[in-house]
Amino acid sequence: MPPWTDLFIVTAAVLVAMAPMTASFLQCWADRARLDAGVGLPAGRSACDGCGTTLGPIDLVPVFGWLLNRGKARCCGADLHPKFLYGEALVLFCAIWAVLLLPWPVVLPTLLLIPGLQGIVLLTGPKPKIARGFAGALTVLGLLVAWLLLQDQLLNHAGATLLGLALWMMARLQRAVAPDALFLLPVAGAFLGFDGLAITCFVAIPGALAYQVLKPFLYPEHLRRPVMPGEAVVFGLAAAIWIVWLYFTF
């Protein structure tokens, strides 16, 4: 059996390589969820949005497939939506960022945190129940990390998790704006504890505002649409959790 350090390195390398593939899958899931009332995983092979042709292997290579085709479908020449490139590239960047910045013991859970946050961001609107499932899984992961790796901080993180859950429930009872987006608060509590939860709430506000203002300008004019408050809030919270986890926890 290889030494633990070698096993960690190999596992981290595999997760980094898979990060853009996972991002592509989650984007596909979210796109199909907007058209399908079911709750299952997306079924069937991916097809061109322009002409419906089944996509070939080269078209499905994350990031590089979009770049090699110069942002156009090979089958019909239709423009590809930039969201595919942005999402895959951002997740790959975050995975490399985590590997370079964090101590080895927390790299692996961080590489699992990335797709979890992306899944919540993408699925909160079309499939909130599935997004809550992602949030629940991340909450459990955060408590495990606190118990095993954060020097007996389990009570602090468990208490912050309960506080985040209470804040989310209060928002639902008060019918606040985009209460579903606030189920990221228990995730923040589980990973970051009381101090991190407070910092996350402050960092999320400018993050959500910036996302709502700037996102439409990242897309061609004919593909722009207004950003809904819930989408902005959940992105702001996810980005804040990521920043606080990387720069305020270790």
Residue 1 binned pLDDT confidence (cut-offs 50, 70, 90) = very low
Q: Which residue has the higher pLDDT, 109 or 150?
A: 109
Tokens found for residue 74? 């090979």
pLDDT in tens, 49-94: 667 677 666 767 778 777 777 777 777 777 778 888 899 999 999 9
pLDDT in tens, 106-130: 999 999 999 999 999 999 888 888 9
DSSP code, position 141: H
Q: Which residue has the higher pLDDT, 63 or 237?
A: 237
Burial code (b: 16+ CB inside 10 Å, e: under 16) for 8-30 equals eeeebeebbebbbbbbbbbbbbb
SS3 47: strand
Domain boundaries, the chain: 4-247
- pTM of full prediction above 0.85: yes
